[in-house]
Structure 1
Amino acid sequence: MDKKDKSSVPYLMSFSGSSPEDVEHAKSFWRSLNLHPPLESRLVSADIRQRLRVATVRPKNDELAIECPASENERFMKQAHEQEKADERIKYRALAQQREQVLNLLYRQRAQRMAKEMISRNHR
């Protein structure tokens, strides 16, 4: 292979000693191909997001407006959580009182039964 005719197209190669028909076939073949480098060798790729979005700087008034609803929301959620805790405490206190009442009733019934058994033992 010899490099010929560098003035028309750079890096163009031609075959010396080949028939003009073979040269035309080779030229048409190389013109038809459009070879791209592999994706890894490219510096920039359309498939890969290479840049991060740039954060916008907001004025301080907007920051305060955004923070206020968030703090109101947090305050509301905290109040709701505290209310749920209070309701739960009330429920457990009611259950404890009911349990205490049941235990007192059982104690009284036991005492009455024991008293009746003492009376019946005396009559046997």
Structure 2
Amino acid sequence: IMVGECRDAETISAALEAALTGHPVYTTLHTSGVAETMRRLVTSFSGEERLGRTIDILETIRLCIWQKLVPTVDERRVALREYLVFDEEVRDILLEGDPNEVTSATRKLVRQKGL
């Protein structure tokens, strides 16, 4: 299932429900990096819903890729990329940590295990 852009809690919830029922889901978000993507997903929800949805996100996410095309001096573009594979170890680290620290924990994991 391809979801255009997950801009709000309703769209993110729909994508999560599809992923939780076993469907592969691909989507886009406009952010400045992998950790920022996690922050954006998690903070789209408020109150009591946030913790449950943070767990849903961490249980279903498998890969996060960020890319920015930057102009070069010869008027071309070069891709800057950052990614993190959310394997079982990464998901466990994030699930065992403080849900309010997902962004900083993800940033640390990108430095340790990502690119």
TM-score range (shorter-chain normalised) is under 0.3
Larger % of strand: which? 2
| Greater helix fraction, Structure 1 or Structure 2 | 1
What's the TM-score, normalizing by structure 1? 0.19
TM-score (norm 2): 0.20
Instruction: Answer 1 or 2: higher relative contact order, Cα 8 Å, separation at least 6.
Output: 2
Larger radius of gyration: 1
